[in-house]
């Protein structure tokens, strides 16, 4: 690459379901020469030598050994979110390529999504909305009652950056807060939000009126919530998942919802996404499902791209990456 020439950045596509947003393109073009996967595949040999960075948007393009081998000058891959479970981090590192995610950009918006799902489920908003717009609507039945949020106990599983921001929001709703995490938060952090640490996840499950999952998907958290864990929860409890669909055993969840083991579920993530149109979860009234909305606001998505650019430029200039992710 000649001096003054912009570094080449590979993206899946512009627009569409898995492409970077059109509104982000001018900002990206200030810093990079953009190449789409279609353009790359049409001239793999020549273009591959030029690409120094990849920006993943909704897990695309797929990073595999074949792609890495065809990009000899690749220095960094920036992910448009926090979760890295779709990437083989050790494989990527073996090619000398650095990796970064975007934790700063997503935390507040994802926490908002978690609280929105909690409130919507507690007050049965989707169900009563459908009643309200029904052609046969005359009045709302007196027994369509929600659950009071103030004074209820929220159990947060995963008290990282997002989990803590959920606790901040829950405190404002006058909720009692329990949390389970690999490492305990500092005492002053707990006191700031009124959170109580549960060393054992079982203790949290048994006490909480709402259980919110905010963990990364790892081999240790795969199907973290299964039949046993659901049966530990109160029959009046609600499960909220804003992490990854595979953190929950969905067959066990369906059975628990159908038989009254728990009251309800609110899910921003499923496995797979989207679910097959005949999946049992789609037929239950006590479930709210959203299409992985977590970060989807105009400001948050733009901040993600800004954070990705910051990490890519740091890597290309030999500087520490602000949000580097290392293989475990």
Phi/psi at 316 (nearest 5 deg)?
Answer: -70, -25
| Number of other residues whose CB lies within 10 A of the CB of residue 42 | 10
d(CA 71, CA 58): 21
Phi/psi at 156 (nearest 5 deg)?
Answer: -100, 120
Q: Which of 124, 185, 292, 307 is catalytic?
A: 292
What SS3 class is residue 222? coil
Which tokens belong to 147? 């659950």
Greatest C-alpha distance within the chain:
73
Is the distance from CB of 325 to CB of 84 less than 8 angstroms?
yes
Is 174 assigned a catalytic role?
no
Is the distance from CB of 315 to CB of 75 less than 8 angstroms?
yes
Which tokens belong to 29? 């073009």
Q: Which of 169, 185, 244, 263 is catalytic?
A: 244
Q: Which of 174, 231, 251, 273 is catalytic?
A: 273
Is 244 assigned a catalytic role?
yes
Which residues are designated catalytic? 244, 273, 292
């Amino acid at each position: 690459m000649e001096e003054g020439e912009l570094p080449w950045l590979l993206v899946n596509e512009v627009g569409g379901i898995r492409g970077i947003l059109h509104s982000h393109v001018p900002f990206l073009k200030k810093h990079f020469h953009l190449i789409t996967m279609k353009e790359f595949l049409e001239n793999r040999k020549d273009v591959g030598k030029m690409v120094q960075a990849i920006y993943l948007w909704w897990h695309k393009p797929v990073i595999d050994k074949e792609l890495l081998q065809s990009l000899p000058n690749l220095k960094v891959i920036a992910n448009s979110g926090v979760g890295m479970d779709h990437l083989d981090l050790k494989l990527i590192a073996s090619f000398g390529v650095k990796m970064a995610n975007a934790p700063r950009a997503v935390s507040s918006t994802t926490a908002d999504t978690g609280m929105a799902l909690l409130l919507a489920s507690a007050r049965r908003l989707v169900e009563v909305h459908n009643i309200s717009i029904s052609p046969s609507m005359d009045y709302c039945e007196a027994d369509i009652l929600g659950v009071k949020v103030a004074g209820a106990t929220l159990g947060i599983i995963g008290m990282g950056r997002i989990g803590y921001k959920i606790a901040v929001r829950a405190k404002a709703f006058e909720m009692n807060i329990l949390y389970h995490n690999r490492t305990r938060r500092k005492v002053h952090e707990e006191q700031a939000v009124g959170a109580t640490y549960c060393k054992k996840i079982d203790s949290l499950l048994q006490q909480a009126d709402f259980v919110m999952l905010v963990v990364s998907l790892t081999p240790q958290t795969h199907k973290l919530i299964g039949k046993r864990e659901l049966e530990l929860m109160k029959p009046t409890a609600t499960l909220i998942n804003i992490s990854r669909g595979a953190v929950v055993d969905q067959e066990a969840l369906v059975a628990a919802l159908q038989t009254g083991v728990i009251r309800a579920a609110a899910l921003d993530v499923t496995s797979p996404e989207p679910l097959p149109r005949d999946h049992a979860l789609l037929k239950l009234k006590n479930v709210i499902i959203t299409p992985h909305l977590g970060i989807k606001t105009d400001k948050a998505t733009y901040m993600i791209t800004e954070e990705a650019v910051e990490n890519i430029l740091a890597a290309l200039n030999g500087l520490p990456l602000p949000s580097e992710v290392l293989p475990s």
